């Protein structure tokens, strides 16, 4: 949906029955609406692509967006040590309240190198992501909201034997496991606001300006 076919900006959408996953009873419809894109993307990045075990240190670039807040919540619930960056002091404080272990200003020197970086920002944070990694570490990339063509710094990549892994969304089985994970851990998606479709413009304006912390959900 939305990439190969028209998206879900409609009161009703028809999908193949086999593609559906039961909504966990403990989640509201607004919370469940966060799962198939942002939270599934974060789940796959952390648990399928990072190659990490619980206790490892993960850096999330750009705290505040839907995927970034999902990475904080799921990473914390999964036993990772989660560090975050943000230009906004307010968002750094809110990330700590959400469960991040430490929060830093964007581009700051970190106390130590991390095992993996979860990269959704792209060009603006790429150099910092490379510098933040320990030798043999991984950057898992799911987006490039600030630009898609940063300097590659190939000398750093090959000398430190870094890995760059692409990731987007996930499989139906992973979505089902994500739903179970939320039920088992009590983790709930962070929703910034829920808006009726008639006010969708307001939601997109908030996304463009960065005036959000969590997911924006549209309702019929």
Q: Hey, where are the domains in the chain?
A: 17-219
Q: Give the pLDDT of residue 210.
A: 85
Nearby residues of 213 by Cβ (< 8 Å), 6 or more positions away: 64, 69, 91, 94, 190, 192
Please check the confidence at residue 178 and state whether its pLDDT lies above 80: yes
> Would you place residue 211 in the very low, low, confident or very high pLDDT band (cuts 50, 70, 90)?
confident
pLDDT of residue 149: 75
pLDDT higher than threshold 70 for residue 2 = no
The enclosing H or E element of 17 equals none
Q: For the segment 90-116, what is each residue's pLDDT rounded down to a tens digit?
A: 999 999 999 999 999 999 999 999 999
Residue range 172-192: mean pLDDT, rounded: 94
Please report the pLDDT score of residue 1 as a whole number. Answer: 67
50-84 tens-digit pLDDT: 999 999 999 999 888 889 999 999 999 999 999 99
**What's the mean pLDDT when you consider all of the chain?**
91
DSSP secondary structure code for residue 220 in this structure: -
Domain 17-219 superfamily per CATH? Medium-chain alcohol dehydrogenases, catalytic domain (3.90.180.10)
For residue 172 the two structure tokens come to 């139906």
Asked if residue 181 has pLDDT above 90, the reply is yes
Q: The whole model's pTM is what?
A: 0.92
* Under 8 Å between Cβ of 110 and 104: yes
């Amino acid at each position: 949906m939305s990439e190969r076919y028209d998206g879900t900006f409609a009161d009703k959408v028809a999908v193949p029955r086999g593609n559906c996953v039961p909504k966990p009873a403990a989640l509201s419809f607004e919370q469940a609406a966060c799962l198939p894109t942002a939270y599934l993307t974060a789940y796959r990045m952390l648990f399928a692509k990072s190659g990490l075990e619980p206790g490892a240190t993960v850096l999330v670039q750009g705290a505040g967006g839907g995927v970034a807040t999902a990475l904080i919540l799921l990473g914390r619930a999964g036993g990772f040590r989660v560090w975050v960056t943000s230009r906004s002091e307010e968002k750094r404080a809110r990330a700590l309240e959400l469960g991040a272990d430490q929060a830093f200003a964007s581009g700051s020197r970190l106390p130590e190198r991390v095992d993996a970086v979860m990269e959704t920002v792209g060009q603006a944070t790429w150099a910092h992501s490379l510098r933040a990694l320990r030798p043999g570490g991984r950057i898992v990339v799911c987006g490039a909201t600030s630009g898609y063509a940063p300097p590659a710094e190939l000398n750093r990549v090959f000398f430190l034997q870094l890995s760059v892994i692409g990731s987007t969304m996930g499989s139906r089985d992973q979505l089902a496991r994500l739903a179970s994970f939320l039920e088992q851990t009590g983790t709930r998606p962070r929703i910034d606001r829920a808006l009726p479709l008639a006010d969708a413009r307001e939601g997109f304006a908030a996304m463009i300006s960065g005036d959000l912390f969590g997911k924006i959900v549209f309702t019929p």
